[in-house]
Amino acid sequence: MTKKKMIIFSNTERDINFEIARKVAGILRKKGRETVLCPMLTGSYNADVWPPDFDTSVLEKELPLAEIIITIGGDGTILRAARAAAGFGIPILGINMGSKGFMAELEADEIDLISPIADGRYKTESRMMLDTAVIRNGETVCRNFALNDIVIKGDNKVIDLTLYGDEQRITHFSGDGAVVSTPTGSTAYSMAAGGPIVEPSAHNIIITPICAHVFEAKSFVLVSYRRVTVEIGYKKHNPAYMSVDGGEHVDIQSGDIIKVHRSKMSTRLVHVTDRSFYQKVSEKLYNG
């Protein structure tokens, strides 16, 4: 049986001139594996345009014949690969060229360690994802899914939020917004907003207020089967937006209801080292 392709998904803003991608391809080809370079391109370098519009179309065309995706960049590169590959179940190995890289397995100076992948010698770990929908006047106006988080934020204004778990009220507050994250996303915006660090292979939903204007508004860690509802209050008629995994901003209005629950999809991340999550936290947060 013909072996499937090994995709190298390189962030063109991090991997300049595909230096790391070429090295990775060389290692795999020496082992007799077919590699395909799928650059993650952006059409704009304008700092006023955020988030940038990254193009993953080349990757998406190659996915049906892929065995594994090797990403080169930061955690954002892994997130974009995960979104494209979510329906295929293809495992992802990240090579970090970003500032933190909690999801990445290897650093740029460790690429020699990918050699066993060519022989199928690697482990995978499943990471839960979240589905979300925006309901407006009883109609669904947006659907999406996340590996990291769903961020609801006022557009430079305070907003009112009420959060429920299985229709039971959890908390209400005014503030800058809230982050609803997976354990994988607990080390991203949720942590920056004061949320807990959760072991990424766990099955939980984490709710973290952003700059709440009441002391009682704390983070909550829910079981994964809880169905979360976020209501945007009418008291503040201020503009707001929702962002999923750092992607395109979706406008949110007063009275909108945002539904979040565990997705049937998941992301498989590849491990080729014995480095634990606790080691990564120590290296990235305390020794960096």
Write out pLDDT tens, residues 61-96: 899 999 999 999 999 999 999 999 988 999 999 999
Q: What is the pTM of this model?
A: 0.90
For the chain, give every domain's residue range.
Answer: 5-122+272-286, 129-264
pLDDT at 99: 75
Q: What is the C-alpha to C-alpha distance for residues 148 and 150, in angstroms, rounded to an integer?
A: 7
Fold of 129-264: Tumour Suppressor Smad4 (2.60.200)
CB atoms under 10 Å from CB of 215, counted, come to 7
Dihedral sign computed on CA atoms, order 127, 184, 16, 116: negative
The CATH label, of 3.40.50.10330, 3.30.160.250, 3.30.565.10, 3.40.640.10, for the domain at 5-122+272-286 is 3.40.50.10330
What are the tokens at 41?
């391109």
What percent of the chain has a predicted confidence (pLDDT) above 70? 92
Beta strands in the chain (DSSP E): 5-11, 35-42, 54-55, 66-73, 92-96, 106-107, 123-136, 139-146, 149-154, 159-165, 168-175, 177-181, 204-210, 220-223, 228-232, 240-244, 250-252, 257-271
Q: Model confidence over 207-248: pLDDT tens digits?
A: 999 999 876 678 999 999 999 999 998 765 678 999 999 988
b or e along 1-33 (b: 16 or more beta carbons within 10 Å of the residue's beta carbon)? eeeebbbbbbbbbbbeebebbebbbebbeeeeb
Helix (H, G, I), strand (E, B) or coil at 11: strand
Which of 48, 55, 75, 176 is the catalytic position? 75
Count Cβ atoms within 10 A of the Cβ of residue 37 and give its class: 0-12 exposed, 13-18 middle, 19 or more buried: middle
Residue 267 has pLDDT above 90, yes or no: yes
What is the identity of the amino acid at 134? Answer: V
Q: Which residues pair with 125 in a beta bridge?
A: 269
49 band by pLDDT with thresholds 50, 70 and 90:
very low
Q: Establish whether 166 is a catalytic residue.
A: no
